């Protein structure tokens, strides 16, 4: 099937994938990466399978290199959804050994591509982000030039005046920007524009690929960066300490799952169920202050807030009896106290024996 004919189907699937990921905001790979490419691949591969079934295709194919993560992500989806269809992977099977070879093949067969020999970056763009790899970026000591970036202004060139933006959530889903309700696609587009104008969402990451090697990528995720910051702050306001700790344990494992393309698994469904439960309370709004590449919290509100000023005030109150803390501290520190007493007894035992 021609690429252009398949594009709308893939994009519809990508929108669904974006919604699913937003629900679970908090999964970060390599301490920085918001998984823009990773989350798109299973969705695109699913669309491929759907098209293949519609037209009666006998094979599935992808253009991923034999060195990267994407070949795994595509083929794990194929295996889960179309185990009967063989896979064609030209980079592994044909005489294509470099991006230059791939460009030559595209030119010979009139396949439209954006990359050129002069700007040979490997780029991936979707509703969530833009990634940049290859070319001069393969040297981790190389600082990318300003002409590399597509979604974000340089912080030095951003406005000298801060901007405030308020993001509303319902059960963990982002639903509004500055009081205006938006569907997920409109919401991400709006936040990308706002965040990008202030130089927010750029990361430079040396990451561990699934196949074992380290690689270097530049990512632009302005809207996602704002969402992560706001969502995390709203969770801090509405969830108790142990639930937050549990979610913090699950988040990196969820990130690994998405990064490795293991989307169509029972493991993912189980973690989704856990996350869905935690998000029932995460309804409210967070106000962010944006200034030259930085995001700070400027306010948060929720009907489900666990913050109660009556209990935490340093002023006079009638809801908390401070003397109660003495008993709590004694019990909370009991194990330490017992261990110290035992150590004292062990130290004194030889002295007492000698005295006898």
Q: Check whether 305 is labelled as a binding-site residue.
A: no
Q: Tell whether residue 70 is among the known ligand binding residues.
A: yes
Q: Does 122 belong to an annotated binding site?
A: yes
- The CA-CA-CA angle for residues 105, 110, 111, to 5°, reads 75
Predicted confidence at residue 118, as pLDDT, reads 61
Q: Is 296 annotated as a binding residue?
A: no
Q: What does the pLDDT look like over 77-109, one tens digit per residue?
A: 999 999 999 999 988 888 877 778 888 888 888
Pairing of strands 180-181, 173-177: antiparallel
320 labeled part of a ligand binding site: no
pLDDT for the residue numbered 270: 94
Confidence bin at 350 (pLDDT 50/70/90) = confident
**Exposed, middle or buried by CB within 10 Å (0-12, 13-18, 19+), for 63?**
middle
Sorted by where each begins, the domain ranges of the chain are 3-88+121-309
- What is residue 100's predicted lDDT score, i.e. its pLDDT? 81
215 is in an annotated binding site: no
Which tens digits make up the pLDDT trace of 164-204?
Answer: 999 999 999 999 999 999 988 899 999 999 999 999 999 99
For residue 10, the SS3 value is: helix
73 appears as a binding residue in the annotation: yes
Query: Of 61-65, 158-162, 278-282, which gets the smallest average pLDDT?
Result: 61-65
> In the predicted model, is pLDDT for residue 137 greater than 80?
yes
| Residue 1: band (very low, low, confident or very high) from pLDDT cuts 50, 70, 90 | very low
Residue 272 annotated as binding site: no
CB 152 within 8 Å of CB 201: yes
Q: With CA atoms as reference, report the closest residue to 26 among 272, 293, 254.
A: 254
Q: Which tokens belong to 157?
A: 């060139």
Q: Which two tokens stand for residue 215?
A: 């690689």
The pTM score is 0.86
Q: Is 123 annotated as a binding residue?
A: no
Determine whether 97 is exposed, middle or buried from the number of CB atoms within 10 Å of its CB (0-12, 13-18, 19+): exposed
50 annotated to bind ligand: no
Is 235 known as a binding-site position?
A: no
Alpha helix ranges (H) inside 56-174:
70-81, 90-93, 99-108
Question: Look-up: residue for tokens 């990361």?
Answer: 203
Q: Which overall architecture, per CATH, does domain 3-88+121-309 show? A: Alpha-Beta Complex (3.90)
């Amino acid at each position: 099937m021609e690429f252009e004919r398949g594009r709308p189907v893939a994009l519809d699937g990508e929108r669904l994938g974006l919604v699913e990921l937003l629900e679970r905001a908090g999964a970060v790979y390599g301490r920085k990466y918001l998984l823009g490419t990773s989350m798109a691949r299973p969705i695109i591969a699913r669309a491929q399978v759907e098209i293949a079934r519609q037209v009666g295709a006998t094979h599935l194919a992808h253009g991923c290199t034999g060195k990267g993560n994407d070949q795994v992500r595509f083929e794990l989806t194929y295996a889960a959804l179309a185990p009967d269809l063989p896979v064609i992977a030209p980079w592994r099977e044909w005489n294509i050994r470099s991006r230059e070879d791939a460009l030559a093949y595209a030119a010979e067969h009139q396949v439209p591509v954006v990359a050129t020999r002069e700007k040979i970056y490997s780029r991936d763009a979707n509703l969530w982000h833009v990634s940049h790899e290859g070319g001069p970026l393969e040297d981790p000591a190389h600082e990318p030039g300003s002409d590399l970036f597509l979604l974000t202004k340089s912080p030095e060139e951003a406005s000298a005046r801060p901007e405030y933006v308020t993001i509303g959530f319902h059960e963990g889903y982002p639903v509004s920007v500055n009081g205006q309700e938006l569907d997920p696609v409109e919401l991400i587009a709006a936040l990308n524009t706002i965040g990008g104008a202030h130089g927010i969402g750029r990361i430079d990451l040396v990451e561990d690929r699934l196949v074992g090697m380290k690689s270097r990528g530049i990512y632009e995720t302005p809207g996602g960066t704002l969402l992560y910051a706001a969502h995390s702050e709203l969770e801090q306001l509405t969830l108790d300490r142990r639930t937050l700790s549990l979610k913090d344990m699950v988040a990196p494992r969820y990130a690994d799952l998405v990064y490795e393309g293991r989307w169509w698994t029972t493991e993912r469904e189980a973690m989704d169920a856990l996350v869905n439960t935690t998000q029932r309370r995460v309804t409210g709004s967070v106000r962010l202050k944006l200034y030259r590449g930085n995001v700070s919290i400027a306010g948060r509100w929720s009907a489900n807030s666990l913050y109660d000023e009556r209990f935490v005030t340093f002023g006079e109150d009638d809801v908390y009896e401070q003397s109660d803390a003495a008993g709590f501290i004694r019990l909370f520190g009991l194990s330490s106290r017992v261990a110290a007493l035992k150590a004292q007894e062990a130290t004194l035992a030889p002295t007492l024996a000698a005295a006898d």
